[in-house]
Structure formats: C-alpha cells, structure tokens
Amino acid sequence: MDLDFLIRRANSSNEKTGCIFMFHGYGSNKEDLFSLEQYLPQSQTIISLEAPLRLPFGGFSWFDIDYSDVIENNLDKRYKEINESIENLLNNIDRHIENENLNKDDITILGFSQGGSICWKLGLDYSNRFRRVIPLSSFIHPSYLNENLDYYKELLIYSSHGTQDEVIPINLVEDYIMSLSKKNDLIFEKFESGHTISQRNLLNLISWIEETKI
C-alpha cells in the first residue's frame, strides 16, 4: 500500500541527490519528525513516511505492540507482522527513489522509538540498500532480526538514547547496541533525558550527518 508522506526536496543542482527517510514513533504521524527538516542538510531530500495502522486514540503505528513486548524484552511474536511492514516500507522507499530520481547509493534512514526499531530492522537486514542508519530512543532485540548480532558488520550507524527513558529503558537495549559496535562504524550516545530528542542530541546528530556526507 502507498504510505502518506511529507517531502522537502533538496536544494541542489545535482541530477541525483541523497535522501533521508524518516519513520515516526508509535501513536505519532508524518508531521512529527518532519519538523526536523529545517535543521538537516539542504543537499538532501527529506521524506517523512506515515505508518499504515491507524490507532483508535489517534496517531499511527508500524506494527501492533503492547508494553509487555518491551518489558518482556522480546519481539518474537511480532516477527511476521514486522516483516510485512518492512516489505511495504521497502516498496514505498523504492518508489520514492525512482519518482524523485534519488541517488540510491546515498540513502539514509532515521527513526524514533517504534520507528527506530523499524530503522534497526531495515538497516541491519537490508544493509545493502542504506548508507546510513539512525535509530533514536528505540528498541532492538535479536528476536526480530534475520541473523545473530555478530553477523552484521561494516555499517554506518548513529544511535542515541536517554538515560531517563521510561518508555524504552536504556538497560533493555544498551548491551545489544554495544555488541553491534564491535564490527560496525557505530556511534552510540547517551543523554540525560527521557523519551525524546534533546537539543544536545539533535546538535550531535546534525554534526554526525555532516561528517559522514559523501
């Protein structure tokens, strides 16, 4: 299915430009992360996608989840549903790359919270399709990945998390992220904040994007 989206096209004379695809958190929408576009490089096209599942209390979700999934530290029972969401996302991303004449070798994915979990899944299991992976304040667990953590290598990743995050406690994910750092070009930063992107976090993220540009 075609996902709703917001787009800011690159201000560039190049025939093909890179792109940052954004995936919002649970219960949010495409406007949320798109508010960051003003801080991101004008040389990049920015596309914020909206999740397909409408929630009864408002907002959208990439896949059904309840808090026990996080507390139990497992996404095994969501594996099939997550992969269906991933397949739909890949189709949408491919369509935007073609329609906007984007540089397929300079595609970045950025996700927050549940969108960050989707970002991890895409960036690890489909690493040949994405140059940079940016999961923020998100859940990661081997149960929803195709391989063991030590399989993934040589990936360019920036991840961050708040030490006071009560939605996705950092102790649930830190060991997995540090394990990935052994074979990947992975920056993992911790901030004294809750389940949010702090100002310092945003500044460091912007600097990392600039430092890793082509």
Q: What is the pLDDT of residues 37-54, one digit of tens each?
A: 999 999 999 999 999 999
Calculate the alpha carbon distances from 198 to 20, 28, 164, 194 in Å: 20, 18, 12, 9
The reported pTM is: 0.94
Q: Name the token pair of 153.
A: 């290598």
Which residue bears the tokens 């667990």? 141
CA distance 190 to 86: 27
Place of tokens 């792109």: 19
Regions in the chain scoring below 50 on pLDDT: none
CB contact at 8 A, 187 and 157: yes
Phi-psi region of 91 (alpha: psi -120 to 50; beta: other; left: phi over 0): alpha
Report the alpha-carbon distance of residue 147 to residue 150 in Å, rounded: 8
State the burial class of residue 112 (Cβ atoms within 10 Å of its Cβ: 0-12, 13-18, 19+). Answer: buried
Predicted local distance difference test score (pLDDT) of residue 144: 86
Q: How far apart are CA 167 and CA 137, in angstroms?
A: 9
Domain 5-211 fold: Rossmann fold (3.40.50)
Contacts of 53 (CB under 8 A, 6+ apart): 60, 61, 62, 63, 64
The residues near 56 (Cβ < 8 Å, ≥ 6 apart) are none
Distance CA 204, CA 67 (A): 30
Residue % of the chain over a pLDDT of 90: 83
- Residue 79's SS3 state is helix
